[in-house]
Structures are given as C-alpha cells and as structure tokens.
C-alpha cells in the first residue's frame, strides 16, 4: 500500500468525523456571526460586521476579557511557581516520593462540579460551619462571606484555590519529567567550577534547562485560564463581578438565545487564541510541526 | 477494521452492542433498550395512539415526578411521554426547540422572543372561555400583543418570613417600609443570628436563581423595569432612591451573606442563621415544620410611607405548545385537558407536594390548605400585591439591569452612571424588538 | 547529586507534608460530610469525624428513585469506556498519520486539526445538537458518544508522541514486509502501551465528568449519567448536604480507582507528551 492511501486509511475516519461534528458546527457558527439570529440558528438576516462591532464596544464582553486578564495574572504565576517548587522538592527527596506525587496528582481525578461543591459548601462556605471560618474563629475573626464579599473581593481566593488544587498535579508531573532529564554531569561540572548548590545552580542550570517545559507550562496554563468556565459557572454563575469570556458567551447563547452575538464572540476568542499561539510559536516553537 | 467506525447509525450501533456484550453490561442496558433506539418513531407505540412529548424542569419536592407521570397516563387520546430535567433545563429546552427533537408541550415562562421567532402557538381558543377564572396578573404574564400563549400551571409567590419571637425580643414590628426594614435588620442582628437573608447576592445578581429583589425594589417604589408602554422604568428618582436603600441594607453588616444555599431554600432561616428571610411560598411547609406558629409573613415593604406600596412577585410555570409539535391541535387538547379542565390534578399538583397557589381562582378559593393561618395570609398577599412579569423584558435586558444593580448595591458604584449604561443596553433591545 | 545537610532534608519533608495535607484536605471533607448527618455538618462545633459514621447514607443515595443513581453509574461507565476506546483508536491513527506517513497536505491538515482546539465549544453547541437531531440520534448512546470522539487535542498529543517514537523499530518492521497498518498495529502500538494507557485515563476522566452534552442529548431519565444524577440532588428544593456529598463521593470512586491502578502509566505518559526539557 502506498503512502497516500495509507494516510487516508489512518486519517480518513477521524477527519470525516471532524468535518461532520466539529468543522460543520464551526462553519455554521461563523456564518451566524454575520447574521442576526435571535431564538434561531438559521442565518436569515445578514448584518455584516454589526455583531462584532457591538461586542467590541465598552460593555460586558470587553469586561469579560478584563476578568480573564485578572484571573490569568493570578493563576498563571501561582501555578508556575508552586508546581515548579513542589517538583523540585519531589526531585530532591528519595524516600516516599511516589506517595507525595500521588497525593498531588489525585485531585486531577475530580471534576470542577465536585470540587466547586466542596469549596462552596464546605471550605469557603460563608457561615459558621465553613472550614475556613471555623479556623479563623479560633483567632477571633468574624465569619467571612467568601463568595459574596465584594470589598475585599475574596471570591478570587476561592476561584484561584480550586483551580490550583485541580491542576497543580498535572504541571508538577511535567516539571518533574523535565527535571529528571537534566544530566547530573551539568551540576557536577558546576560544582567543580565552584558553584554552590542551591540558588546558584538553580538559577544557572536548572531554570535554563527547563526552558521548553516552562514555556509549555506557561502556554498551556494561559490557554486554560483563557477558556476558564467551570469554576466561575459553578461558584459565581452569571455574576458581573467575575464573568470570564466563556461564561459570558454561554449566557449570550443559551440564556439570551442570541446566537449571532454569541457566535461573533466565539470567533473573536478563537482569533485571540490563534494569535497568542502563533506569537509564542514564532518565539519559542512549542507545538511547531517538526516534519 | 477502523474504517467501519463510520457515521451510519446501523453499523455504529452494532459496534456498540458488541461492546456492551463484551463488557457484561448487556443485560442492564438491554432492559431499557426501548428508549435507546435513537430514531424517534413518533406515533408508533401504544396501539396506534399518537405520542406527545411533555417536558418539565425538575421540581425539588419528592413525589412530583410520579404525579405528573400519573396525570399523563390518564389522557386517552395520546401516549404522553414525560421528560423531567435536572440541572440546566434552559439549555436543554432551547436546544430542543431549535431542533426537531424538542417537546410538543413544555413548561417555561413566556418570553417575547419565543413569540417573535414563531416557536410557540397562541392558546386563545382554549384559555379564552375561562379567562375570567384567572387573575389579571396571570393573564398579563402569559399574554403578548393581545394573544394568550400559555396556561399557568402553578402560581408561586414570595414573602418576607420573620420569627415572631425574635422580633418581639428585639422590640420591632414586621416592617412596612424600607427604613423600618433596615432598622429591624440591624436590631435583629445579635448573638450570631443575622438580621435578614435575601440571597448571597444581596438580591441583585442573577446567579443560581438569585437577583430576587431586582424587580421588587422597583415595584415597591411605584415603578417597574419596563413601564406598561414598554419604556425604561428604572431610572426614575424613586427607583434610584430604592436602589440606594437596598445598598444601605446590603452594607449594614447585618445581612446574612455566604450561606450554603440561596434565598429560595429556607435552610438559612430554619437553621437560625437569620431572623428574617425573603423566600417563596413553596418553603412554607418546611418553615412550619421547623417553627410551628412562631413565624409570620409580609410582602416586601414599600419604599416609604408615602411612595410605592408593598409588593411580591408572580412566579411559577406556564404550559406552552411548541409550533413544531407533530400535532398542534392534539397538543393543545392535552394542555386543555390537564391544566384547564382537570381540577383534581391541578389541586394535587399545586398543594400535595410543594406548596403553590392553583392558578384557577375557583380552585384557589376553595382549596382547604389555603383557608387558615399563615397560608390564608399568603393567598391574601398574593391577590393584593403580586405583580406580573412583563414578557417584553428579555434576558439580555435583565442581565444589563442586574449588572448595574450589582455594581451599585454590592460594589458601591455610581447610581446614575451605572443605570445610564443599563438604559442604553435596554433601549437597544427595545429598538430591536420594535424593528 | 551531593548529600544535603540534615536540616535541609527535614525542611523539605516538612514542606511536602504540609502540601500533602492541603491537597488531601478536600477528600477528607467530602468523606466526613458524606458520613455525617446534616445536623452535624451544620452544627456550631466542628467535629473531626461524626460521632457515629452514617453508613446508611450510601443506601440513601441509591434508594433515591428520582436520582436513579445506580442506572446513572452504569450509563456513565458504558459511555466513558466506549468514548475512550473510540477516541483513542481514532486519534492514535490520526496522530500516527500526521507524524509518520508522508503526504503532501499533511501540514495544512495538521494546522486544521490544531485550529479545532481554539474555537470555544459554547457556541458550536447548538449546531452540533441539531446535527445529532437530524441524524435521529437524540436519546441514544451513539448521540452522546460519537460526536465527541473526534478530539483534536488527543490527536495532537498522539502526533507529538509518535514524532519521538524510535524510527529503527519501525524500519525493522518494514524490512519484515509490514505495511503502514502492520507496523502500526504490530510494532508501534505494542511498544506504546504506557502512553495509550495515559491518554485513556485522561479521556475516561473527561468522559466521566462531562455534563451538558449528555444532559441535552440523553433526554430521558434512563439515559442520565452520574453528573446529571448528581445535579438532581443539587437542585432539590431543600438540599440534603450529607446526600449531596455522599453522591459526589460515590461519583469519584471509580476515577480514583482508575487513578490508583494506572498512575504509573499516567505519570510516564504526561512526561512523554513531547514536551521536552
């Protein structure tokens, strides 16, 4: 069998399904984005770029991009630092490493629904039987309404911790794999040159050697933050206090049934993600086809 | 051979069936094979009788689902398949109505865009003859452009529940104005029990069924989100006053915030986390169970002794007929049979599980459970103070006003600027509807 | 690596133990609440564990006829397994084609696959549902499973993995007279079982945890999955906290078991996704 028939044999079924169940809906959505489509998904009323223009005016959609920016500014550096720190610690110990690794990795098995349930009803519940308030009451602190309080905006603490709990394990494993690929000889050579173990070797050997892993962690993390939906949806629902882009689009499409604006918003988001991916690809080359 | 994983239903089904067998789940799944067939056979089953698909959201009270199944079985002109939907009923219903796989008969609230896009049919011919047996509020809530599009199946409403003993101990009366409410809330905040619970969102953010006060603060200030002639009604001086009173309440520190469940669940009240709570009629049995006679109800207080009057909402669900119903006349006949003619089922549905007011006035006035005590107060408050939602008020308008109210009441934002933004968004929607 | 001073070793373990406690805390809370009465959960005095463990709560969840939890577990298990087998089969072959089979338009096709990762699903939801409805697949297992089999992300991961697969092994097979299909099935797959296991676990988790699509496509209650069932308990008029936590706990047990048994592969697989240090 020649290469071309073989390619189609391997790729054909996947591509056929992709066309029917992914590209067709995307194309449909693309067409709708240039139409007024209220309580219908039939493109019957062409409005040109009007939906795009509406969304890019000051308003809830641009606010949602701002919410994403705040969220990313909190979650990306925290995830990066904490997962790197825990991976380095894991890499430095010899006894019970598998146990600790399992403990950090186990939350990955939970859904955002279950995690949000625990966070909302048990840890950051705003009344006396919430764990956080129980602990604070030992120090004489009054009950804090974690998800309701606006000044200060404690809900960011709830949103950030639930995501950290669910995703840190994955990034710890990525970093750990990266660390284990660094050749011990590099460190030995540095010691011979008089470098001290600790910050110096970390700064001049470990970090540079982890460059590709670091870029991957940052990028995956950024895209995941950008597509954040579940914890916002489950903890805050339709709240203008913190409504990231996907939550806004969900309510635009499913609740307002405004599929024209909803589709236009999806296209803008897709374009932004493509830009970010292309930008990093130019600089770092993560995900670039190597054939 | 992987290429056989094609998209033809037949071959895929075979693949799945062999998988089922291999996993040893065959017995369990085959037992329910009747409804996993995929292709809807429409009028096939039940000895030639046509099939009607009827959709409900999930009512929280146990026994309700069995009850609606029982009613459905009593209809002899068609086989009625009832679907009961937990979680996101809105998404399931909107997807269903946009496709060929939606319901024939369903419950929801009337919304202008469902009418304008031709998703539902008018029901004047079945409601018309008994129109006077519904309250005007019910008719307003189900009518648009002079036609009636739905039949109310349950009426819900809400009250400010208060603990008589706690009010007496604090020396306050049940509030009738916003200032009295703010004072009472402050006075009742003692010993770990907060003064009032109106939802974790302070009543203004439409999350998890929240935003309970968005309309109320306007109604009790003598206005409404949309005036009867469909103009923006939330920028009057009284409306601004009312929002700033609500902000004062929200920032008093005496409001319960951060409860595990929201205003629609009486738990905060029954667990004695707050001395007063805004909650629905549906919660009354639970509250009675917890406190016996030690509680009372009033509507939401007026803005002041001279401006506005106390109010409550008209909620509940409305049965409608999809324009895509396989047999529209049959679907209408079923709605008439169940929700207009079948008094026994209506009384059972409204009063045997949760606690609702039967929409038929003749039924409500003779229902035993609504004759005495606090329940009788409830019926009186409902008849005197319930305001109908305006079907022209679209979700997008609500979202714009709620964003403004959230910024004002919870965030301390500028009242004029926030309301002006909301006004702009609402007027854009009104212009779209006028086009 | 040099030996670290003892105080440093102690400090490292101390830090890891603290982190472990924090990571496991939510599991403890779920277990504690699931085995308590509501009165104990909402009580003023916090108890580490309820005075008597309420094992009856397990039966209570299964006996709640409106949630139909046992049936939902079966549905979820079937859907998760079928979806995983299908996804892994389809996307491993696609990934292999993109990584290893020379074809003029392979690069544009690869970019087209990547593009699907970037369009948010919230808005393509309704068009997808209408396609399923036209196929007559509403209320069927294939309606829930088939449309989500075509995962661009999984195909991308497989491609990255196969790019690093040792070519010598494949060439040995080629010399033995195997075609592309033969090399793939007899050499590549058997030598990549760890990675296949890792991707399977990831797919099982996401299949098990999906909510909206199974809710909307599987309309009848006989089609409900665990997540849908769980949401019936959370939308009850008055929420029974112990029941919700017990249901949540039961819903994660199968995944935790999968995790415990396949963790080794998963860790290895994540490390092999082609992201090199």
Out of 3.40.50.300, 3.40.190.10, 3.40.50.1860, 3.40.50.880, which CATH number does the structure's domain B3-156+315-387 have? 3.40.190.10
pLDDT at A261: 94
Mean residue pLDDT of chain C comes to 88
Q: Which residues of chain A neighbour C267 with C-beta distances below 8 Å?
A: 101, 105, 173
**Residue B314 pLDDT exceeds 80:** yes
Task: Check CB contact under 8 Å for A148 and B201.
Answer: yes
Interface of C with B in 50-79 (CB under 8 A): 66, 71, 74, 77-78
Interface test with B, best of C81, C214, C216 (most B CBs within 10 A): C216
Contacts of B150 (CB under 8 A, 6+ apart): B110, B120, B123, B142, B318, B319, B320
**Residue B40 pLDDT exceeds 50:** no
Lowest mean pLDDT among A251-255, A260-264, C158-162, C268-272: C268-272
Sequence spans of domains, chain C = 60-272
Interface test with C, best of B13, B101, B117 (most C CBs within 10 A): B101
3-class SS at A90?
A: helix
Task: Check CB contact under 8 Å for B258 and A125.
Answer: yes
**Residue B16 pLDDT exceeds 70:** no
pLDDT in tens, chain A (291 residues): 789 999 999 999 999 999 999 999 999 999 999 999 999 998 889 999 999 999 999 999 999 999 999 999 999 999 999 999 999 999 999 888 889 998 998 998 898 889 999 999 999 998 888 999 999 999 999 889 999 999 899 999 999 999 999 999 989 988 998 898 888 888 888 888 888 778 888 888 899 989 888 888 888 888 888 888 889 988 988 899 999 999 999 899 888 899 999 999 999 998 988 888 788 777 666 555 443
Sequence spans of domains, chain B = 3-156+315-387, 158-313
Q: How many other C-beta atoms lie within 10 A of the C-beta of residue C153?
A: 16
Rounded mean pLDDT of B27-37?
Answer: 32
Is B158-313 the same fold as B3-156+315-387?
yes
φ/ψ of C217, rounded to 5, equals -80, -45
- Domain spanning B158-313: which CATH class is it, in words? alpha beta
Q: Can you tell me the distance from the alpha carbon of B416 to that of B393, in angstroms, rounded to the nearest whole number?
A: 21
Q: How many residues does chain C have?
A: 277
Assigned superfamily of C60-272: MetI-like (1.10.3720.10)
Per the rule left: phi > 0, alpha: psi between -120 and 50, beta: everything else, C119 is: beta
Residue C237 touches chain B, beta carbons under 8 Å = yes
Which of B335, B333, B326 shows the shortest CA–CA distance to B41? B326
Mean residue pLDDT of chain B comes to 87
Local structure of residue B372 (DSSP, 8 states): S
> How wide is the angle at C-alpha A179 spanned by C-alphas A174 and A181, nearest 5°?
100
pLDDT at C92: 97
Residue A138 touches chain B, beta carbons under 8 Å = no
- Residue C236 confidence class, pLDDT cut points 50, 70, 90: low
Query: For residue B116, what are its two tokens?
Result: 């304008």
Report the neighbours of B using a cutoff of 3 or more CB pairs below 8 angstroms. Answer: A, C
Q: Can you tell me the distance from the alpha carbon of B150 to that of B51, in angstroms, rounded to the nearest whole number?
A: 21
- Residue C235 confidence class, pLDDT cut points 50, 70, 90: low
Q: Which residue in this structure is represented by tokens 């489950």?
A: A234
Q: What is the spatial order of strands in the sheet that B151-156 belongs to?
A: B79-85, B51-57, B105-108, B315-321, B151-156
């Amino acid at each position: 069998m020649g290469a071309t028939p073989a390619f189609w044999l391997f790729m054909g079924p996947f591509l056929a399904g992709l066309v029917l169940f992914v590209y067709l809906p995307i194309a449909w959505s693309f067409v709708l984005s240039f139409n007024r489509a209220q309580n219908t998904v039939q493109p019957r009323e062409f409005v040109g770029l009007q939906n795009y223009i509406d969304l890019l005016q000051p308003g809830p959609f641009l606010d949602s991009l701002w919410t994403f920016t705040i969220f990313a500014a909190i979650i990306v550096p925290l995830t990066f630092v904490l997962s790197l720190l825990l991976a380095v610690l894991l890499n430095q110990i010899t006894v019970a490493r598998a146990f600790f690794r399992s403990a950090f990795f186990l939350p990955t098995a939970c859904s955002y629904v279950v995690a949000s349930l625990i966070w909302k009803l048990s840890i950051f519940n705003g009344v006396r039987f919430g764990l956080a308030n129980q602990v604070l009451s030992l120090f004489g602190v009054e009950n804090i309404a974690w998800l309701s309080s606006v000044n200060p905006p404690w809900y960011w603490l709830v949103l950030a911790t639930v995501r950290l709990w669910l995703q840190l394990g994955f990034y710890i494993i990525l970093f750990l794999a990266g660390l284990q690929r660094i050749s011990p000889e590099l460190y030995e050579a540095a010691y011979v040159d008089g470098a001290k173990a600790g910050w110096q070797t970390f700064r001049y050997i470990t970090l540079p050697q982890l460059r590709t892993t670091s870029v991957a962690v940052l990028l995956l993390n950024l895209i995941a933050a950008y597509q954040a939906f579940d914890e916002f949806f489950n903890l805050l629902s339709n709240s203008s206090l913190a409504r990231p882009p996907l939550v806004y689009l969900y309510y635009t499409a499913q609740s307002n049934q405004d599929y024209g604006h909803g589709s236009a918003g999806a296209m803008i988001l897709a374009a932004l993600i493509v830009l970010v991916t292309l930008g990093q690809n130019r600089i770092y080359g993560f995900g670039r086809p190597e054939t | 051979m992987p290429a056989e994983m094609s998209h033809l239903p037949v071959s895929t089904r075979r693949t799945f069936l062999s998988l089922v067998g291999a996993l040893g789940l065959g017995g369990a799944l085959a037992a329910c094979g009747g409804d996993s067939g995929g292709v809807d056979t429409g009028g096939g089953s039940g000895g030639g009788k046509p099939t009607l698909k009827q959709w409900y959201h999930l009512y929280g009270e146990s026994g309700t689902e069995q009850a609606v199944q029982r009613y459905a079985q009593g209809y002899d002109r068609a086989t009625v398949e009832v679907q009961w939907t937990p979680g996101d009923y809105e998404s399931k219903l909107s997807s269903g109505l946009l496709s060929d796989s939606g319901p024939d008969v369903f419950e929801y609230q009337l919304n202008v865009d469902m009418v304008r896009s031709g998703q539902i049919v008018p029901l004047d011919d079945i409601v018309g003859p008994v129109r006077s047996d519904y309250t005007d509020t019910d008719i307003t809530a189900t009518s648009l452009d002079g036609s009636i599009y739905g039949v109310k199946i349950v009426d819900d409403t809400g009250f400010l529940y208060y603990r008589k003993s706690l009010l007496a101990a604090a020396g306050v009366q049940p509030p009738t104005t916003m200032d009295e409410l703010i004072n009472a809330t402050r006075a009742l905040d003692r010993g770990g029990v907060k003064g009032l619970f109106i939802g974790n969102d302070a009543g203004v953010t439409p999350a998890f069924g929240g935003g309970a006060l968005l309309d109320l603060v306007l109604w009790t200030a003598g206005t409404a989100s949309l005036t009867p002639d469909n103009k923006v009604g939330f920028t009057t001086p009284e409306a601004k006053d009312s929002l700033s009173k609500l902000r004062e309440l929200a920032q008093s520190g005496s409001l319960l915030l951060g409860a595990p469940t929201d205003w629609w669940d009486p738990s905060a009240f029954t667990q004695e986390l707050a001395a007063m709570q805004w909650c629905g009629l549906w919660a009354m049995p639970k509250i009675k169970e917890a406190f016996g006679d030690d509680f009372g109800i009033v509507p939401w207080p007026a803005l002041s002794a001279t401006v506005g009057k106390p109010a409550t909402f008209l909620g509940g669900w409305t049965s409608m007929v999809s324009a895509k119903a396989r047999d529209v006349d049959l679907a209408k006949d079923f709605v008439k049979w169940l929700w207009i003619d079948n008094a026994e089922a209506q009384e059972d549905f409204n009063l045997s599980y949760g606690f609702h007011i039967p929409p038929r006035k003749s039924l409500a006035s003779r229902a035993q459970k609504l004759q005495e005590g606090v329940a009788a107060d409830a019926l009186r408050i409902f008849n005197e103070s319930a305001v109908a939602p305006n079907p022209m008020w679209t979700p997008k308008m609500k979202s714009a006003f709620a964003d403004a109210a959230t910024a004002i009441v919870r965030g301390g934002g500028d009242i004029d600027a926030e309301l002006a933004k909301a006004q702009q968004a609402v007027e854009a929607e009104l212009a779209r509807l006028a086009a | 690596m040099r030996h670290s001073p003892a105080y440093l070793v102690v400090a490292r373990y101390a830090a890891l133990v603290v982190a472990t406690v924090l990571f496991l805390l939510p599991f403890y809370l779920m277990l504690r609440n699931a085995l308590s009465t509501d009165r104990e959960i909402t009580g003023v005095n916090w108890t580490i564990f309820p005075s008597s463990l309420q094992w009856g709560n397990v039966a209570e969840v299964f006996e709640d006829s409106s949630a139909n939890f046992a049936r939902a577990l079966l549905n979820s298990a079937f859907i998760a397994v079928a979806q995983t087998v299908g996804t892994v089969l389809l996307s491993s072959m696609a990934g292999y084609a993109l990584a290893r089979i020379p074809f003029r338009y392979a690069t544009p096709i690869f970019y087209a696959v990547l593009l699907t990762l970037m369009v948010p699903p919230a808005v393509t939801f309704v068009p997808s549902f209408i396609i399923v409805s036209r196929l007559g697949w509403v209320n069927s297992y294939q309606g829930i499973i088939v449309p989500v089999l075509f995962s661009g992300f999984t195909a991308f991961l497989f491609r990255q993995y196969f790019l690093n697969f040792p070519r010598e092994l494949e060439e040995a097979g080629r010399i033995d007279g195997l075609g592309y299909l033969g090399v793939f099935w007899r050499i590549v797959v058997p030598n990549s079982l760890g990675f296949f296991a890792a991707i399977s676990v990831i797919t099982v988790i996401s299949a098990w945890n999906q909510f909206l699509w199974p809710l909307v496509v599987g309309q009848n209650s006989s089609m409900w999955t665990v997540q849908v069932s769980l949401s019936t308990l959370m939308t009850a008029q008055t929420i029974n906290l112990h029941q919700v936590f017990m249901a949540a706990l039961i819903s994660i047990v199968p995944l935790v078991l999968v995790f415990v048994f396949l963790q080794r592969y998963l860790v290895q697989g994540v490390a092999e996704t082609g992201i090199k240090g």
